[in-house]
Amino acid sequence: MKTSIKNLLKKELRNKSILITGGTGSFGQNLIRYLLKNFSLKRIVIYSRDEKKQFFMSQSKDFNPENYKNLRYFIGDVRDYSRLNYAMEDCDFVIHAAALKHVSIAEYNPMEVVKTNIMGANNIVQAAISNNVKKIVSLSTDKAVNPINLYGATKLASDKLFIAANNIVGKKKCIFSIVRYGNVVGSRGSVMEIFKNLCKNKNNIYPITDSAMTRFWVTLEETVEFVLLSLLRMQGGEIFVPKIDSIYIKDLVPAFNSKAKIKIIGLRPGEKVHEILYSKEDSESTIEFENFYTIKPQIKFTTTKTNYFLTPLGEKGKKVTPGSEYNSFNNPSFLSVNELKRLVKKY
Ligand SMILES: NC(=O)c1ccc[n+]([C@@H]2O[C@H](COP(=O)([O-])OP(=O)(O)OC[C@H]3O[C@@H](n4cnc5c(N)ncnc54)[C@H](OP(=O)(O)O)[C@@H]3O)[C@@H](O)[C@H]2O)c1
């Protein structure tokens, strides 16, 4: 991150309180590590359900409340409005990263995913408005674009709730935006984790669902910086999409193990061959900036008139070509096997 931008963020976050739902997850932990290292926040509230994850996190030296007096661990479920409402007291910012995110698990437990990803999102919106939280950013996924699985559909519904929230704030000064990106390298339950285990167990057969499959590919560090930058860029109602790399999933196999053989096992329920970050249908509302896109809200807000072509950081954007699409296959930026080898070594 450029020093000038980091300085702006330092100013924005100094002595403020932030609540992170899903603070014990892959994204949450990386965000919190970055916040502790770079900024002087008054309070960082970690909000999640499982006491075991919180316990082990609080025992590690990176997140020990003995070393970091501004860290607070809150057990709570996003399905529980009253607990959320209490946890958000005096918070200036909320980053909503809690979700159920496994495509196949969602297909088998549909109502559970609806309760967490949709009802939970609505609770965040209501609690944030009730506590006058200034800025709320919710994390979205490429699977929410033209969804074919329940996980994606619930994240799309969640995105819509956050966008519409800008219309129900009344006199409160809360703004809500979304950050949407693709597969995160090495996040919990990712293909990297599966291949790492095969490598460890000296298994030479690597399952791939479709040999043509591509995916967007982004590191946790990139997502953390992009989400923090969105706190400076957001005016309310936008979906921010970073320009990121793509990979062929089959290229991961030689990156892990040059002797491995690929076994094609067929697409799983709800799986696409390529993912989309902005669709042809979104293109009329999509603005291109140097390193990212903004999808502006399609509904009109009654209270504000925002120029989404100019960010508060002075970045100027232009309309994308109508009918264009940003998908993991037509992405101009693909990682090579050698680049993947370097990533795998670090992981
Ligand atoms: N990983 C990716 O490749 C990727 C890509 C695009 C977008 N995203 C989005 O990024 C966000 C973060 O993903 P991640 O990879 O960090 O996920 P993760 O590692 O699975 O972490 C999920 C977090 O959410 C918490 N959580 C789950 N259900 C909850 C509930 N009902 N109430 C409160 N907390 C709950 C979990 O803790 P407990 O289980 O203890 O509650 C955990 O802290 C998600 O919104 C996901 O959709 C992820």
For 175-235, what is the HEC assignment? EEEEEEECEECCCCCCHHHHHHHHHHCCCCEEEECCCCCEEEEECHHHHHHHHHHHHHHCC
Average pLDDT of span 88-109: 96
Distance, CA of 277 to chain centre:
12
pLDDT, residue 300, reads 87
pLDDT band at 301 (very low <50, low <70, confident <90, very high): confident
**Residue ranges per domain, the chain?**
3-182+217-243+279-322
Q: Using an 8 Å Cβ cutoff, are 326 and 239 in contact?
A: no
pLDDT, residue 52, reads 98
Read off the pLDDT of residues 204-255 as tens digits, 9 standing for 90 and up. 999 999 999 999 999 999 999 999 999 999 999 999 999 999 999 999 999 9
Q: Using an 8 Å Cβ cutoff, are 274 and 328 in contact?
A: yes
Q: Is 200 a catalytic residue?
A: no
Q: Using an 8 Å Cβ cutoff, are 235 and 312 in contact?
A: yes
pLDDT over 70 (residue 318): yes
Average pLDDT of span 82-92: 98
Average pLDDT of span 155-161: 98
**Please, what CATH class does the domain formed by 3-182+217-243+279-322 belong to?**
alpha beta
- CA-to-CA separations, 205 to 138, 184, 253, 269, in angstroms, rounded: 38, 23, 9, 22
CA of 171 to the centre of ligand 1 (A): 31
CA of 277 to the centre of ligand 1 (A): 19
pLDDT over 70 (residue 132): yes
The pTM assigned to this predicted structure is 0.97
Distance in angstroms (rounded) separating the CA atoms of residues 189 and 176: 28
CA end-to-end span of the chain: 22
Burial class of 207 by CB neighbour count within 10 A (0 to 12, 13 to 18, 19+)? middle
Read off the pLDDT of residues 101-128 as tens digits, 9 standing for 90 and up. 999 999 999 999 999 999 999 999 999 9
pLDDT, residue 303, reads 66
Residue with the nearest Cα to atom 12 of ligand 1? 97
pLDDT, residue 347, reads 77
Distance in angstroms (rounded) separating the CA atoms of residues 118 and 112: 10
- CA-to-CA separations, 143 to 31, 108, 156, 199, 233, in angstroms, rounded: 22, 17, 8, 28, 24
pLDDT band at 186 (very low <50, low <70, confident <90, very high): confident
User: Who contacts 84 (Cβ-Cβ below 8 Å, separation ≥6)?
Assistant: 47, 76, 78, 123, 124, 127
Q: What is the DSSP letter of 300?
A: P
pLDDT, residue 307, reads 95
Please identify, by atom number, the ligand 1 atom nearest to the C-alpha of residue 96: 45
Residue of 101, 135, 143, 155 marked catalytic: 143
Rounded mean pLDDT of the chain? 95
Residue with the nearest Cα to atom 26 of ligand 1? 98
Q: Where does ligand 1 bind, in terms of residues with CB under 6 Å?
A: 21-22, 24-28, 48-50, 53, 77-79, 97-101, 116, 120, 139, 141, 155, 181, 183-184, 187-188, 190
Average pLDDT of span 138-156: 98
Q: What is the DSSP letter of 117?
A: I
